[in-house]
Amino acid sequence: MNVTVTGAGGQIGYALLFRIASGDLLGPTTPVNLTLLEIPSGRAAAEGTALELQDCAFPLLRTVTVTEDPVRAFDGVNIALLVGSKPRAVGMERVALLESNGRIFGPAGGALNAGAAPDVRVLVVGNPVNTNTLVASAFAPDIPADRFTAMTRLDHNRGVAQLAVRLQLHVAEIDGLTIWGNHSASQYPDVFHATAGGRPVSELVGREWLADEFIPRVANRGYEIIQARGASSVASAASAVVDHVYDWVNGTGERWTSAGIVSDGSYGVPAGLVSSFPVRSVDGRWEIVPDLAINAFSRARIDASVAELLDERDAIRALGLLPAGR
């Protein structure tokens, strides 16, 4: 499999590349050709990482290529991990990155369109991730929109971990959590279909705890990490990339997870927006979990996050970052 990581010389790149090369991303029998895309200022770091990858003597790692040319980087790519972009710093919301990072994802979409493999799967990590995914997909008209995904798996994992701590259970006993909407402070971690140790979570925790502690904790965890580390999440983000792609390729079975995907209009999310949904991976495709009852508590929060996604789309349109007519 040909795997390309953009921003490979950055922090997440450094945490991610070794997990890909060791077989965590695609499984222990799939050899990998890695391509590391950088801009000139990040090239030396990517070259250094390539040397270290070589020194690991990973049995599954066939080739490592470092390049600054997006067309070369995406030629024949099966898995494209679009990490390259600026992270936010203390005092910023992710949306503040919209203009500077948004400009990166149109050309990336165009280069993917030019040469990606027919089965390409794209995961966007760079923030603001939902809208960057929308931009990349818009510039890749020949690639089906369902191949473009935005990473909300880190939010999902954060929510699972917080529930496990609160209920004093193992993370594997939590199922059916959903992250809806935007990977921002407006995201909605929904427990109303979740179970913990086989029991409905909504019977185990009160709405006050949900509204005042759980939801804000999960939604603002990225900022909590920035304040604690002085820099945004890295290893947990790389781990979520591995989880997302592994599940996409290998399937989730009956359990579900969360991913940002192009809406088909389900659950009142306007078609074409990139929103987080409850999803299962079936036969190599993400499917939205259908027919969940949405109560008033959830509806208001999903709608608020979707409204923010519409605002972001309007903003990038106004900046001329979408192709004409989109």
Binding pattern to ligand NAD, positions 233-272, x when CB under 6 A?
xx--x-----------------------------------
Largest CA distance in the chain: 55
Annotated binding residue at 8?
yes
Rounded-to-10 torsion of CA 315, 181, 286, 210: 160
Query: How do 257-262 and 148-150 pair as beta strands?
Result: antiparallel
Distance of CA 145 to the CA centre of its chain: 15
Annotated binding residue at 88?
yes
Nearest to 70 by CA among 101, 112, 42: 112
Q: With contacts defined by CB under 6 A, name the span among 60-68, 172-180, 217-225, 309-317 that binds ligand LMR.
A: 217-225
By a kind-dependent CB cut-off of 5 to 8 A, residue 42 interacts, out of ligand LMR, ligand NAD, none, with ligand NAD
By a kind-dependent CB cut-off of 5 to 8 A, residue 225 interacts, out of ligand NAD, ligand LMR, none, with ligand LMR
Residues 199 and 169 sit within 8 Å (Cβ to Cβ):
no
Smallest gap from Cβ 240 to ligand NAD, in A, equals 6
Q: With contacts defined by CB under 6 A, name the span among 119-127, 244-252, 262-270, 294-302 that binds ligand NAD.
A: 119-127
- What's the token pair of residue 81? 């991990």
What are the backbone angles phi and psi of residue 53, rounded to the nearest 5°?
-60, -40
- What's the token pair of residue 46? 């990517």
Q: Which of 7, 106, 159, 278 forms a contact with ligand NAD (CB under 6 A)? A: 7
Nearest residue (CB) to ligand NAD, 39 versus 249: 39
Q: Which of 87, 176, 181, 189 forms a contact with ligand NAD (CB under 6 A)? A: 87
Q: Which of 84, 222, 260, 278 forms a contact with ligand LMR (CB under 6 A)? A: 222
Residues 5 and 25 sit within 8 Å (Cβ to Cβ):
no
Report if residue 225 touches ligand LMR, rule: CB under 6 A. yes
By a kind-dependent CB cut-off of 5 to 8 A, residue 102 interacts, out of ligand LMR, ligand NAD, none, with none
Q: Which of 1, 5, 12, 64 forms a contact with ligand NAD (CB under 6 A)? A: 12
- What's the token pair of residue 144? 């089906």
Residues marked as catalytic: 183
Residues 9 and 42 sit within 8 Å (Cβ to Cβ):
yes
Query: How do 121-124 and 79-82 pair as beta strands?
Result: parallel
Residue with tokens 């990225």: 222
What DSSP line would sit under 110-150, residue for residue?
HHHHHH--TT-EEEE-SSSHHHHHHHHHHT-TTS-GGGEEE
**Residue 200, H or E segment:** strand 199-200
Report if residue 95 touches ligand LMR, rule: CB under 6 A. no
Residues of span 119-148 touching ligand LMR by CB under 6 A: 127
State the Cα–Cα distance between residues 133 and 102, nearest whole angstrom: 9
Q: Which residues are annotated as a binding site for NAD(+)?
A: 7-13, 101, 125-127
Chain residues in the site for ligand NAD (CB under 6 A) = 6-7, 9-13, 37-39, 41-42, 83-88, 101, 104, 125-127, 129, 151, 154, 183, 232-234, 237
Q: Which residues are annotated as a binding site for substrate?
A: 88, 94, 127, 158
Q: Which residues are annotated as a binding site?
A: 7-13, 88, 94, 101, 125-127, 158
Chain residues in the site for ligand LMR (CB under 6 A) = 87-88, 94, 127, 154, 222-223, 225, 232-233
